[in-house]
Structure formats: structure tokens, C-alpha cells
Chain A
């Protein structure tokens, strides 16, 4: 049996098209390569 309230909470408002720019800027683009780079920089700093 579905819980209507819980299900309704799962639905989020959709973004307006005018706000595409915000979405692009706020997108987290960090990938594994960035993490590797960060780790290497950390190792390099400790040495």
C-alpha cells in the first residue's frame, strides 16, 4: 500500500528553463581524475 504523503515528498519542483545557467554553474563536475589529482597534490605537499 502506497503512502501518498511519502510518495508526494519524492516529487521535486522542476527547474525553469531560465535557470539553466544556475544549474550549469552549480553542477558538481568533480570526477575520479580530480580526486587523483588532489591526492597527488597532497602527497606532493607532504613530501
Chain B
């Protein structure tokens, strides 16, 4: 606190200036009054008597301009009533008078931070001013339109609500006026202007109610015809036939044809041209594929031909080799025949056939050598039987030699089996006995073969004789 006389800085609680001795009780008294007004203003603000609170807070500031609480609260009340400029100016002054520890900082920053809302607020102020100008120029309709926008953007703008209500009252739209006033009253409950306008609206409403009641009680008034609002309906008339649908159809068809020629045909022609190229390429591809398949077939046939030729070459080689072998056998047979060993000679050519030889001389020599007289075969069989007494192996060799020149010799088969039986080779023995039986079951050799088989445990090996 500063001394009002010497401007010296003294303590807040000092009752006298320590420098000039000035009595400071007046200053303290003024501050107390300021605080009292602030408290009353705060009470009114708490019950939403904002205009009343604003008046008292202004008085509080008249006693002490540095009452920061009162100034900040006044700014807050202005902000709540939509008076942004007044609110900001109070907070700026508060900040100027108390730079440190002031809640006005928070209010200013909050408002400035939301630039969009600030711009919208500025727009509402401009529209309000425009509406006020229109109303003063007796252009109520335009003013109402402007004010509607203002209150939709900022419903807390009490002055705009009041002006809109006044214009509605002027245009005798009391219901809407009442709504505007109710909205204004929700913000500022005891605003005298709002209350005055509201009373006016209520008076009009009461007058209207009285006139309605009076009208209801008055029987002389003629009753309103209940069918007065009914409008007679005209007789049904069939709709005249019109040529327009036919015209529309024809026009549509013409339009379709035009569209086809202008839009669809060029595209179609282009596609056709492109399609021709594709078809050419496809046909070329098909020709190539056909050629490839033909070549593959030719290759296969040539491969098979090569195989056949190779086989023929191999067959020719084999044939020539066989011929040479046959001739070798024939030569060996001739050798044994010259040595008078006719059996061995016959055995040598036993694997050959007469058709294996080309020349007639060779064929006649083969026939001479291969054909053995029966006596010689019988002599060999007898030789084999004699050898059985000395050596079964020698006898087996002799009987095999006999069978090589005379495959169907039943006696040789029987004794061959006997040799093997004696050598305890029963399996081989049985085989030869059975072969002997297969030759002819009616001979004495067959009977003997059956007996030997019976001895070896084979009972039904003999074939049934023909009747």
C-alpha cells in the first residue's frame, strides 16, 4: 500500500504512514467497503443474479480499484453473459494492477488459446451489431434472422436474447419471445430488462386467455361451420390419351442408335481390328503346333525304324553265328562218323535240324549222321545196362547219350531212373520213371517203372491205359 500523501510504500496493516505520519484509516475504511461489496456481489453471482452482481462489483471497484478478486469476478460475469470484450478488459486491468499470482492469467490464456471460439465470438458480436442496426432501421425481419444466428452461435449472449425477444414482442410473436426470455433468465436470473419483457409477454398471454374464455361463454356468437375447412373434390375425369409416350419412345430409340454409332461403334471397330491381329497370331500358332506334332510323329517313326534295323542287324548276326555253330557241329559229327563212332556223331548233330543247313549236300550229310540204326541204339542200351554193374555214373552217361539221339527211348529212361534210385537220388529217379510211363503205359518197361515207383512210395503215377 502506498501513502496518499508522500506516496511512500507502507505495510498493508499500517494505520499511519511511517514516513509522513499521514492517517491511513480512510484508506482502510474504503478497502473494507470494497470487500463488503465484493462479498455481496459474490453472493448474488452464486444465485445467478449476474446483472445485480455486476452492479455491486462495480461499486466495490470504485472503492478499491486494486480489488483483484472483485475485478476478476466481474470479468467472469461478463464472460458468462456473452460480453467477451468487457470480460477481457477487466481481466487485462486486473493483470495490470496485480501482475503476480493473479487468476486473470488463467482466464486470458484460456480464452486466447481457443482461437476458433474467439473468432466465432467476434462473428456473433458483428452479427449482433448488424441486427441492431437493422432493428433501428425498422427492418425487424432481417434483424430477427441475424439474431437467430447470433443466439445459435452463442446462446449465453443475454443482450442478443433480449433484443430478439423485444423484436418478437414487436411482431406479436409472444411465444417465441417468452422462449428467448426464459433462455436469458437461465443465464441471468434477475435481469431487470428480462423481467420487464417477460411481464409484458405474460400480460399479453393473460389478455389472450381472457378473450378466449369470454368468447367461449358468449352464446350469441355463431358456431363455426365444422365443414368450413373441407374443400370439395372435383369429379373424376379420365386422363386424355396423349401421344407423348409414343414420342418419348421414338426419341429414346433414336437417341440409342445415335449413342451406338457415336460411342459404341468406334470402340467395337477398334476391338475388332485388335481381335483380327489376335486371330492371325492364333492361326499362326496353330500352324506351328501342327508342324511340331507332325515332326514329332516323323521322329517317332524314324526311331522305330532305327530300332528295327538294329534288331535286323543283330538277328542277322545271330543267324550267321548259329549257322556257323551248326556247321561246326556237323563237322564234328563227320569226324566221329569217319572214326566209326556213329553214336557220338549223332549226338554231335543232335542239336541241329535239317532246315538249319542251306545246301543239299550238307542236308544229306546231316541226315546220314543223325539217323542211327535201331540195332546200334539197342547195343548202346545194353552197354549201359552192363555198365550198371560196375559204375552207375558211366551207365547214366551212356543212357543220356542214348536219349540225346533217341529222345523217346523208354528202356533208357527206365534204366536211367534205376541208376539214380541206386544212387539214392529218389527225386531224379521218380522223374525218369514217370517219363518212361508217359511214353507208353502198356509195355513191360512201363510196368517195371510203375513197380519201382511203388517202391519209392508213388502209387498213382501211371497213366490210365486206353480201353
| Contact surface of A with B, Cβ cutoff 8 Å | 1-2, 4, 7-8, 10-11, 13-20, 23-24, 27, 29-34, 36-37, 40-41, 44
Contact = CB atoms under 8 A, between A and B. Distances in A.
B311 interface: no
B216 to A, nearest CB: 26
B193 A10 contact: yes
Nearest to B130: A13
Interface in B9-49: 22, 26-27, 30, 33-34
Given A4-B166, A31-B61, 17 more contacts: A2-B196, A4-B169, A7-B166, A8-B135, A13-B129, A14-B159, A15-B85, A15-B86, A15-B125, A16-B122, A17-B84, A17-B118, A19-B85, A24-B96, A27-B89, A32-B64, A33-B4
Contacts of A17: 84-85, 88, 118, 121-122, 125
Contacts, number: 89
B169 A2 contact: yes
B200 A1 contact: yes
Interface of B: 4-5, 22, 26-27, 30, 33-34, 61-66, 83-86, 88-89, 92-93, 96, 118, 121-122, 125-126, 128-129, 132, 135-136, 159, 162-163, 166, 169-170, 193, 196-197, 200
A31 B196 CA distance: 32
21 contacts: A2-B166, A2-B196, A4-B169, A14-B83, A15-B86, A16-B85, A16-B125, A16-B126, A17-B84, A17-B125, A19-B85, A20-B85, A20-B92, A24-B89, A24-B96, A30-B65, A31-B30, A36-B4, A37-B5, A40-B4, A40-B5
B159 A11 contact: yes
A21 B216 CA distance: 62
Contacts of A30: 65
Given A1-B200, A11-B163, A32-B62, A24 B92 contact: yes
Contacts of A36: 4, 26-27, 30
Interface of B is mostly: helix
Contact of B88 (A1, A10, A20): A20
A29 B166 CA distance: 34
Given A14-B83, A24-B89, A4 B170 contact: yes
A32 B169 contact: no
Contacts of B30: 31-33, 36
Nearest to B162: A11
A13 B166 CA distance: 16
B93 A2 contact: no
B5 A14 contact: no
Contacts of B166: 2, 4, 7-8
B305 to A, nearest CB: 109
A21 to B, nearest CB: 8
Contact of B63 (A1, A7, A11, A32): A32
A34 B170 CA distance: 46
Nearest to A30: B65
Which among B65, B121, B169 has the greatest number of chain A C-beta atoms within 10 A? B65
A36 B132 CA distance: 42
A34 B63 CA distance: 9
Contact of B128 (A14, A19, A34, A37): A14
A41 B63 CA distance: 19
Contact of B64 (A1, A14, A15, A33): A33
A8 B23 CA distance: 49
A42 B92 CA distance: 32
A37 B163 CA distance: 43
